[in-house]
Amino acid sequence: MMNIQRVLLSREQIAKRVNEMGQQIAADLDAEAKRVAAAAKVAGATGDEIGAASGPIVLIPVLTGALVFVADLIRAMPVAMSIKPVTLSSYPGKSTTSQGVTVQSGVPMDLKGARVLIVDDILDSGKTLGLLRRLVDAQQPRSVRIAVLLNKQKPMGRAEDVRVEYSGFVIDDEFVVGYGLDFDGIYRNLPDIVTLGG
């Protein structure tokens, strides 16, 4: 079993940043809804059409890693939303590097015209979020945004470049656990984000 080396991000740092992210995302979504409604009104849309165009956000958390993050994030987002989680895996068992993405539970299939926010714990190789963004984009949503808690610096580049609109923290390319992130299924319940060593 690996041992905790050091605390990288404390629970206090995480709470402050997640609250800031939630407020920023909510403000951006509100501004988008107003723009969409105004444009629809100018185009002569009906009240129902305007409401649909600027309706609730569809939030897609990537489980299980984003479970803790998304629970805190949505409490800082006073906007109407539906939550449709997906389960994807790229770190099977004791792997500390991405092994390719497996879709374990279904991606929502009713996203045409929707405003979508994908939420994940970490941007590492880019494979997971790249695949998910393509699957969502294929359904022709009105807009897609991605929010991640951690954005790893990758000096050698990512396997796939992914546009991420919101990042909580930029971290070095090291293996971390806690606050929802795991190693072989454990450590998710740690309130801080920590590094592991052998």
- Show which residues are catalytic: 124
Residue 152 forms beta bridges with which residues?
A: 171
Q: Which amino acid type is present at position 124? A: D
Helices (H) and strands (E) in the chain, counts: 4, 10
Angstrom distance (rounded) from CA 24 to CA 4: 32
Which helix (H) or strand (E) segment holds residue 143: the answer is strand 143-152
Q: Calculate the dihedral angle through the C-alpha atoms of 51, 54, 55, 58, rounding to the nearest 10 degrees.
A: 160
